Amino acid sequence: MIAFQRVPTAPATQPPTLIVDKVLLPAIWWRDVPVVVLDPVELNELDRFVIEATAHLSPLDATTFADITGLPKFVFAALARRLAALELVTWDSEVLRLTRTSGADDDDVTRRRTTTMDFLLLPETDDLLAVDGGLGDFERAVGKHALPAPLAPEIGAMPARDLLTERIRANRIAGLPSSVVGLADDEPFGSEAVAAMASTDRTLPIPVAVSVSGSATVVWDTDRPTVMFTVNASRRRNGGGEPKTATLDLSGARGLVTAWQQLLHQARQLENRDAAVTALALGTLSPHLLQPGLQAQWTLALTAEQAKAVADQRLLTEPAGLQISDRHTHLTTAVRFVPADRGAKAWFDRDELITAMLANPHSAAATAAASPEPINRSGGAQALRRRVWELGHRWLVHALREDEDFNYV
């Protein structure tokens, strides 16, 4: 069941923004997972010459190198150690032998190393993320007493190593650098099931994840929405210590954003719009006038009479905040007002002029002087000043009257 409630503040409309006031996210995570990274290495001309010479003369020794190049033998030793470290040649008994079938013209020379990364799984939306900066603050904010959430058996029983390896191969881990090619084979990790991370201290009949309570902001300012998730502050059960909170970048969690968009889509169905319009408490409005807008936004078309009624409460350029809730998630979206007829447009033009003056207070009088048409259509200069005064911007009224009040010539 979906519920609607008007809230005092609307999210930003530029860029489109969705506020997730409350959400429970089942989660599984792993800290310090050993992974294999292949870093690109740039070969200089001398490196490439030595590889080519080794390919043609293998084995290549310092005397032959010195005869060909005229360089001292110690240069050969330094080059040999470097190329051997890159596993391009073998350096044994003072001679070089080629270990690669490709030549020195190969552009994808890499250095292999092992590092560690933190991973976060959101099982309900099948999002797996590599977390830049780690999950230390997140883990501390969640605490040790978070409630469990049911986990699908096919995920819960899967070995963690198998899950991560499969997703790395399929390029299905958001935020994972392309240089990461797999898990380190020589490091002990992941033989236990996925659910073991959440149920180490529990004896439960079903696999579980950890239920993380928090809030989020979604901003559509690029091709991929930016998602910042904040864990609700938690205290230790004994009351000691300050509440801990943490903010995590979940921008790669496409499934999570899609789930929130599906809630918005459900709320936008015609059978739900009547409740949404009623919650806005803006007078008698047809639910057909409430339409889906850009991304998470709505638009509400107002007639001249309706625009005048809404203008008694707020600037028409200021969107209303509408909270949409189901059992576990509360979303707040912006409802933008638009004119439904020419009469309403006059009211909107006036409030757009006021908004422009408020944005540039030092040039407010000049802005008004350059916009006679919207002023005249909405009742003239006196009506404009009265409107500004009623909105509480009395300093702006004084600015608009400055030439009249201080014209002593």
pLDDT recorded at residue 101: 47
Q: Which helix (H) or strand (E) holds 277?
A: helix 270-280
Domain boundary among 108, 123, 154: 108
205: CB partners within 8 A, 6+ apart: none
Q: Is residue 161 part of a domain?
A: no
pLDDT recorded at residue 241: 59
Identify the weakest region by mean pLDDT among 75-79, 195-199, 280-284: 195-199
Rounded-to-integer distance, Cα 333 and Cα 284, Å: 21
Mean pLDDT of 145-163: 85
Q: Is residue 338 part of a domain?
A: no
133-146 pLDDT tens trace:
899 999 988 877 67
| 34, 183 Cβ separation under 8 angstroms | yes
CATH for 103: 1.10.10.10
Neighbours of 152 (CB within 10 A): 17
Higher pLDDT, 317 or 234: 317
Q: What is the mean pLDDT of the chain?
A: 85
What DSSP string runs through 318-375?
SPEEEEEE-SSEEEEEEEEEEESSHHHHHHHHHHHHHHHHHHSGGGHHHHHHT-HHHH
pLDDT at residue 128 greater than cutoff 90: yes
Q: Is residue 370 part of a domain?
A: yes
Q: Which helix (H) or strand (E) holds 142?
A: helix 136-142
Q: Is residue 259 part of a domain?
A: no
Angle at 67 between CA 51 and CA 83, to 5 degrees: 25
Structural domains counted in the chain: 2
Q: Is residue 360 part of a domain?
A: yes
Higher pLDDT, 331 or 236: 331
54-112 pLDDT tens trace:
888 878 989 998 999 899 888 988 988 888 887 788 888 788 887 754 444 555 677 78
pLDDT recorded at residue 407: 58
Domain ranges, residue 54: 42-108
Q: Is residue 94 part of a domain?
A: yes
Split at pLDDT 50, 70, 90, the class of 238 is: very low
Q: Is residue 288 part of a domain?
A: no
pLDDT recorded at residue 235: 56
Q: Is residue 366 part of a domain?
A: yes
For residue 324, which of 29, 18, 37 has the smallest C-alpha distance? 18
